[in-house]
Structure 1
Amino acid sequence: MRLVLWHFMGGSGWIDASELVAEAHDRGPYFAKRLRSWIRAFLEDPHNLPVNTANTWNRSALENEDLELAISEHLQSVGKYVRAADIVEYLADPRVQQHFGLSDTISLSTAQGWMHQLGFRWRKVPHGQYVDGHEREDVVKYRQEVYLPALNAIRPRLRQYDEHGEEVHSNVPAASLPRRVCLFWQDESTFFANDRRVVRWVNEREKPVPRAKGEGASLMVSDFFSAEDGWLRSEDGQTQARRLFRPGKNRDGYFTNDDVLQQFHAAADIALSRWPHEDIVFVVDNAPTHQKREATALSARSMTKNLSRTFGVEIPILDEAGRPVHGSDGKVSKARVRMADGTFADGTKHSLYFPDDHPDPELRGAFKGMVKLLEERGYSSVGRLRAQCDSFNCPAPPPDTPPLAYYSQHPCCCRRLLYEQPDFKAVKSRLEMEMEARGVQVIFLPKFHCELNPIEQCWGSSKKEYREKPSSSKEADLERNVVDALDSVSLHSMRRFYTRSLRFADAYTKGLTGKQAAWASKKYRGHRVIPDTIFEELTNAGISAD
């Protein structure tokens, strides 16, 4: 409108000025006529300005959670240099349009807005540690050699679900089927009182209002879920495995290994009662509170090289009620006890201490020392070795060479030789031992692999619902909102999350990297496994392992 008036004041005719501006904006005579109409209305009433009604009658397609998840996975498969154009190109695929009921792709400007909604910002990359934990050598080794074999061993006995969340039944007679496995996924997540939705359409007349500073009060949730029945609860719904915990020094304290064990025993009670004819398996992450070992567990960490009469493990002294006893200085009193025995290759016990009735009084009950322990295991000339390499940074064995075999041939220090012994490596956590005593198997997830734990998506879905709740600083409101948000996650969604995690596991089993697995999981959405032709498809699509 301003350009039309400028041309008109410069000597152009009224119609010529409007058509000149319309042509400059790649518009036709109709737009020129609209410009003249708007200007006349404005000259009669300066407050009468045209309103752009574009897109005011449409709902965003991104409100579809499945579409949002699909786009997120697609961007993950692209890598770190993603573009808004990647969304446009993805939605231009006829298969994607058919799957989500779309008639066309979106514009680049809409895609840029979606990038913001998906959590992307056009800014400098934040600097952190130069490490890629997901593809770190030790993490990949654990994933491929420990986690996946354990999961694949029970996978034929797991229930399977289709893309609609319905169980896929086998044609094999029930009497011929192996004993079922009921898989429970466990994790913790924290909800904050001030965690609320911050991006929305704001009316231009809306004024700033005071808001709380910081995240506010927090509530930690620790829970289990299965694809069979959702959140783990008793059949009558009166007992549940869920634990709500208010972390903080002046609140409930902190979630310790003892709290973990107590919750897992309660979860085992419910699971064993509800599924007495199935094997129960708990899948948990590699958190220190889950991995904690017995205080007296076998460990080469602080062993002395030679004989010691003082070496042992300090444990807190407890009273009859199981509470720590404090000394006059206010500190917890501790007692020194012996470390647990080792195990020889033939399965016999290997005591770390000389017997109490040893002929030499100086040796009775004394710790043997690492040199003596290694000699009793068949090593010679270990007395010439150092107790430990500097900062325990020992020379790394060549690829594909077992560490124990390498260090046995090229010993560098006593501690490393003991550290690599099978019985030292195989020490189980308290959680594993106590659950195995009840007939429950525990499988630890690889680090940095949230895509393998479907409960992570349950947290994401529930937090999206939680952020829509009314804001409140009251503890009771916080708990009620959290519980309501958790219970809003449907069983159908949980089964989709479960199937997705198994699809990722199958991709890793076939040798795919994280980037390739994300692409394959997105392409074969709804499938329980990835086809054997996946590498050919990855090559054709130009998806490399890097």
Structure 2
Amino acid sequence: MTHPANPVGGQWTKAANQAARNAGKVKGDYLSRSLRSWSMAYVKTRTLPHHMPSKKFSRIEDESLAADLHLHLQSIGKYVRAQDLVDYLSNVGNQTRLGFKKTISLRTAQCWMGRLGYRWKKEPRGQYSDGHERGDVVAYRQTIFIPAWCHYQPRMRVWNYSNPIIAEPTATPPPGRHIVAWFHDESTFYANDRRKQRWVHERESPALHPKGEGASVMVSDFVSADYGWLCSPDGKEGARVLFKAGKARDGYFTNEDVLAQTEKAMDILQKFYPDDDHIFIFDNATTHLKRANDALSARKMPKNPSRTWGIWIDSKDGDGRTVRGTDGKVVKEKIRMADGQMPNGDSQPLYFPDGHEKAGWFKGMAQILVERGYESAPALPSECKDFKCPSGGDSYCCCRRLMFNQPDFTNVDSLLESSCRAQGFNVVFLPKFHCELNFIEQCWGYAKRIYRARPQSSSEAVLEQNVIKSLEAVPLASIRRFAIRSARFIDAYHNGLDGRQAAWAVKKYRGHRVIP
């Protein structure tokens, strides 16, 4: 600073001020004084002083204050605001107790909300709670679904969460051929479904956007952790169905549509994947559980013989289409119920045979039970009031309860089960309200995230094209990670955890194939 070429040479203060301004400090008095002090220290000691910046502490770092504010926010409930902290510290009593002279600003309160662990974002959503832990649902999950899964699971390939491309080696080889589990589900994509959150510039003005969800396409497909979406290795043949649901469009996805899709899926698996055994996993929906029209059911059976009783079904023409009358209503026709099965395995017709005085009449529950050995059935009532039997499902209080408990009435296969088993495929139905067990749900979510980033279009052809591209963009590695997550839920339920505990355990042990 004392060099002759320096315009302020020989003048320490002016030189220090000039250096501070060159450093970008408009009012650099503090920096100027520091430069003079450091320079004098260097002249005397030939060493530069170490700068020790002072550390400022925020009041929110006080654990007792943070705990007090936490308790206050929790007392407010679910919807808290930063303004609640401002209002809380505006109270004179709270200021005296916590050592404040005045309240904090709203901006400070917003910063403190972050330090207290709060984030301004959409509320996280977990699994469904409606009916998830209902008695009958839990009973089905623990006594039917999980045992069925545990029966097949030892023969399934195991994937590593960190590197899901390669299957993990097993300690003992599976007893038989590998089993591939194909999960089925449907999902709907909407034309106007776009991203809701993004970085928006402050000068950006609101833009016009279409009202409503727009055109829709429903997708029905199968997916497995082994092969991804169900299709041939070259992708030319697939089981995916695109459906324009709606009364004025393609109608609605019925049991007949599911059966046709499953038939196509079985043909592909038999043709291209014959070295594996395959099982289908379906949701526990009425569309999937539909039985044959003449299937055994005690729901509406009369107790005594009836000449007119039968099963009313929709009439179909030769092409399988529903017949409607001149008034537009569906034409109904009556059919007979299929034969039952006696305890010894013999067939039991439910209608009186030819030559009987009531030939062709329905026998009624009492007569059917008498033929099965329940001699006291005629003395029992038809059913208890509102079918709420006093001793539960194992009682012998009424004819209808006895009929419900007959093995041939209890173990009636659905059309889906009958169709699949006829070709050597097994079917397992998921418990109700357990979407976390069907990992295809996460595949839909991944695909929709990609779909929302694609250019918007009102054309249904473009909509279908975008849907297909989005589905094909889901990586196989992600599909396998989704499958591992669902398997962890199954393992948690197998270990006796309920829904809330299982959700915590799956998040806690993320990356594990099973819950420790």
Q: Do they superpose with TM above 0.5?
A: yes
Whether the 8 Å contact between 1:341 and 1:349 is mirrored in structure 2 is yes
Q: In structure 2, how many angstroms separate the alpha carbons of the residues matched to 1:485 and 1:111?
A: 39
Whether the 8 Å contact between 1:452 and 1:505 is mirrored in structure 2 is yes
For residues 301-340 of structure 1, the aligned pairs below 5 Å read: 301-340=299-338
The answer to whether the aligner puts 1:377 opposite 2:372 as a matched pair is: yes
Please state how far the C-alpha of 1:513 moved relative to its aligned partner. Answer: 0.9
Aligned residue in 1 for 2:258 = 260
Please state how far the C-alpha of 1:228 moved relative to its aligned partner. Answer: 1.1
Q: In structure 1, how many angstroms separate the alpha carbons of the residues matched to 2:26 and 2:298?
A: 84
Aligned residue in 2 for 1:365 = 360
1:290-315 CA distance string (max 9 Å, x none): 01111111011111111101111123
State the secondary structure of the residue aligned to 2:465. helix
Q: In structure 2, how many angstroms separate the alpha carbons of the residues matched to 1:445 and 1:341?
A: 29
Question: TM-score, normalized by length of structure 1?
Answer: 0.70
The amino acid that maps onto 1:336 is: K
Q: In structure 1, how many angstroms separate the alpha carbons of the residues matched to 2:481 and 2:137?
A: 26
Please state how far the C-alpha of 1:330 moved relative to its aligned partner. Answer: 4.3
1:236-283 CA distance string (max 9 Å, x none): 211111111111111111101111100010111111222212211000
1:37-91 CA distance string (max 9 Å, x none): 9xxxxxxxxxxxxxxxxxxxxxxxxxxxxxxxxxxxxxxxxxxx8899xxxxxxx
Q: In structure 2, how many angstroms separate the alpha carbons of the residues matched to 1:132 and 1:390?
A: 28
Please state how far the C-alpha of 1:140 moved relative to its aligned partner. Answer: 0.3
The answer to whether the aligner puts 1:505 opposite 2:503 as a matched pair is: no
Aligned residue in 2 for 1:168 = 168
Whether the 8 Å contact between 1:354 and 1:364 is mirrored in structure 2 is yes
The amino acid that maps onto 2:466 is: N
Aligned residue in 2 for 1:292 = 290
Structure 1 unaligned segments of length 5 or more: list them.
Answer: 1-32, 38-80, 85-105, 121-128, 398-402, 532-546
Whether the 8 Å contact between 1:217 and 1:475 is mirrored in structure 2 is yes
For residues 440-451 of structure 1, the aligned pairs below 5 Å read: 440-451=425-436
Q: In structure 2, how many angstroms separate the alpha carbons of the residues matched to 1:34 and 1:420?
A: 90
The amino acid that maps onto 1:170 is: T
Aligned residue in 2 for 1:349 = 347
The amino acid that maps onto 1:456 is: E
Pick one of 456, 466, 476 that aligns with 1:481.
466
Question: TM-score, normalized by length of structure 2?
Answer: 0.74
Aligned residue in 1 for 2:234 = 236
Q: In structure 1, how many angstroms separate the alpha carbons of the residues matched to 2:217 and 2:119?
A: 31
Please state how far the C-alpha of 1:478 moved relative to its aligned partner. Answer: 1.4
Q: In structure 1, how many angstroms separate the alpha carbons of the residues matched to 2:251 and 2:26?
A: 68
Q: In structure 1, how many angstroms separate the alpha carbons of the residues matched to 2:408 and 2:27?
A: 89
1:206-251 CA distance string (max 9 Å, x none): 1112222222211111001111111010122111111111111111
Aligned residue in 2 for 1:101 = none
The amino acid that maps onto 2:362 is: F
The amino acid that maps onto 1:203 is: H
Q: In structure 2, how many angstroms separate the alpha carbons of the residues matched to 1:464 and 1:418?
A: 50
State the secondary structure of the residue aligned to 2:428. strand
* Counterparts in 2 of 1:34 and 1:189: CA distance versus 1, 3 Å: farther
The answer to whether the aligner puts 1:453 opposite 2:458 as a matched pair is: no
The answer to whether the aligner puts 1:109 opposite 2:104 as a matched pair is: no
Please state how far the C-alpha of 1:417 moved relative to its aligned partner. Answer: 2.0
Aligned residue in 2 for 1:199 = 197
Alignment coverage as a number of residue pairs: 411
The amino acid that maps onto 1:236 is: D
State the secondary structure of the residue aligned to 1:134. coil
Aligned residue in 2 for 1:415 = 400
Structure 2 unaligned segments of length 5 or more: list them.
Answer: 1-23, 29-76, 81-110
Aligned residue in 2 for 1:17 = none
1:79-120 CA distance string (max 9 Å, x none): xx8899xxxxxxxxxxxxxxxxxxxxx985288774514547
Whether the 8 Å contact between 2:437 and 2:487 is mirrored in structure 1 is yes
Aligned residue in 1 for 2:60 = none
* Counterparts in 2 of 1:470 and 1:111: CA distance versus 1, 3 Å: farther
Please state how far the C-alpha of 1:370 moved relative to its aligned partner. Answer: 1.1
State the secondary structure of the residue aligned to 1:353. coil
* Counterparts in 2 of 1:133 and 1:294: CA distance versus 1, 3 Å: same
State the secondary structure of the residue aligned to 2:238. coil
Aligned residue in 1 for 2:386 = 391
The amino acid that maps onto 1:486 is: L
The answer to whether the aligner puts 1:281 opposite 2:279 as a matched pair is: yes
Q: In structure 1, how many angstroms separate the alpha carbons of the residues matched to 2:507 and 2:311?
A: 50
**Greater shift in the superposed pair: 221-230 or 514-523:** 514-523
The amino acid that maps onto 1:116 is: K
Please state how far the C-alpha of 1:170 moved relative to its aligned partner. Answer: 3.2
The higher radius of gyration belongs to 2
Q: In structure 1, how many angstroms separate the alpha carbons of the residues matched to 2:316 and 2:135?
A: 42
Aligned residue in 1 for 2:188 = 190
* Counterparts in 2 of 1:82 and 1:139: CA distance versus 1, 3 Å: farther
Whether the 8 Å contact between 2:113 and 2:119 is mirrored in structure 1 is no
Q: In structure 2, how many angstroms separate the alpha carbons of the residues matched to 1:490 and 1:459?
A: 12
State the secondary structure of the residue aligned to 1:281. strand
Whether the 8 Å contact between 2:243 and 2:250 is mirrored in structure 1 is yes
Whether the 8 Å contact between 1:272 and 1:280 is mirrored in structure 2 is no
Aligned residue in 2 for 1:520 = 505
Whether the 8 Å contact between 1:308 and 1:366 is mirrored in structure 2 is yes
Q: In structure 2, how many angstroms separate the alpha carbons of the residues matched to 1:297 and 1:381?
A: 26
Of all paired residues, the percent bearing the same amino acid is: 51
